[in-house]
Structures are given as C-alpha cells and as structure tokens.
Structure 1
Amino acid sequence: REVISIHIGQAGVQVANACWELYCLEHAIQPDGLLYHEYRGSTDFNALFSITSTGKCVPRVVIVDLEPTVI
C-alpha cells in the first residue's frame, strides 16, 4: 500500500515538518534523501517514499499554505 500525506495551513505545515523528520529518522533516510549506509534495520519505506532513478527517497506528501513564508 502507498500513503499520500496532505497537510494544509500553518499548523499542517508545522505538523508535516515534524512528521516527515520522524519518518526519515525511523527509516534511516538522510536529509538529502539518501539512505544511511550503516543502517541494518527494515527498509520497508515504500508506503511513504518513492525512490528515484538516482536512489533518492522522495516523500509522498502535499503541503499547502497560502502564506509562502511558512513552507
């Protein structure tokens, strides 16, 4: 299964930042989208992330806010 996360408004953006930071930590994904090489745990992250041809993990998320400085 695949999950698409949708966050709307300032509170949604703030929650999205916290959630996706946690998801990356749980699945050993670095801020640049690459996996940590020393990670030996489960790499079952396909529900939350898409993998590009270059091996980067891209979150399945839509973040929307009318105030551009928040995002």
Structure 2
Amino acid sequence: MREVISIHLGQCGVQCGNACWELYCLEHGIQPDGQMPSDKTIGGGDDAFNTFFSETGSGKHVPRTVFVDLEPTVIDEVRTGTYRQLYHPEQLISGKEDAANN
C-alpha cells in the first residue's frame, strides 16, 4: 500500500489545505472529529482512502498531513476551526511571532 503525506506551507498552503481536508472528509463521510458514522464502512482494500488517512486504535481517522507557517494566526484558525479535532497537535507547526514584512 502507498501512503501520501501532504505538506501545506505558508498562509495560502494552510488555508487551501484545510479546505481540501474538509472536502476529503465530506467525500469519505468522516465527521469533523475524525470518527466515521457507524452506518458507513470502509472496504478492507480501500487503498484510495488509506492512502490519505490513517486510523488510530480508537477508530479515529487522521489525515496524513502537516501544516507549517511562520505566523501562528493562520495555524490558530485550524486549531480553533470546525475540524480542530481531526488533526493531531504535532501536525500543526507554527512560529512564535508575526512574520509579516520581513
């Protein structure tokens, strides 16, 4: 099986990436907390799904992605947004200070 890790860099990358993962979740029936409704099942050999998501022992589906930005405000939007429970905190990497006009 092949796995894809998406890396989203900067303000545009983080905002576009967050929108893409929201769409992926809607397409695969994953709730904003990473859980799949009990009436939905994933086929055992659904490589397309497993390529982009990993499943934890508790049944939560986590995107194979990393968000990186020097400015914390954009990453904070992801941390506090609708899909905040979808991502592991280690996937959201931000700097400590505003990087504007550098």
Deviates most, 54-63 or 32-41 = 32-41
Q: Which has the higher helix share?
A: 2
- State TM-score, norm by structure 2: 0.64
1:51 aligns with 2:55: yes
> Secondary structure of the equivalent of 2:23?
helix
> Given the two structures, how large is their TM-score scaled by the length of structure 1?
0.89
TM-superposed CA distance for 1:42, in Å, is 6.1
Gaps of 5+ in 2: 76-102
Structure-1 residue corresponding to 2:40: 39
Aligned-pair CA distance for 1:69? 1.1
Please report how far the alpha carbon of residue 36 of structure 1 lies from its aligned counterpart in structure 2 after TM superposition: 2.0
Query: Which residue of the partner structure matches residue 24 of structure 1?
Result: 25
**Which structure is higher in RCO with an 8 Å CA cutoff and minimum separation 6?**
1
Q: Percent identity?
A: 68
Match of 1:61 in 2: 65
Post-superposition Cα deviations, 1:30-62, rounded to whole Å, max 9, x if no partner, equal: 000000223367683111111000000011001
RMSD value, Cα:
1.7
Aligned CA distance change for structure 1 residues 70 and 7 (closer, same or farther; 3 Å)? same
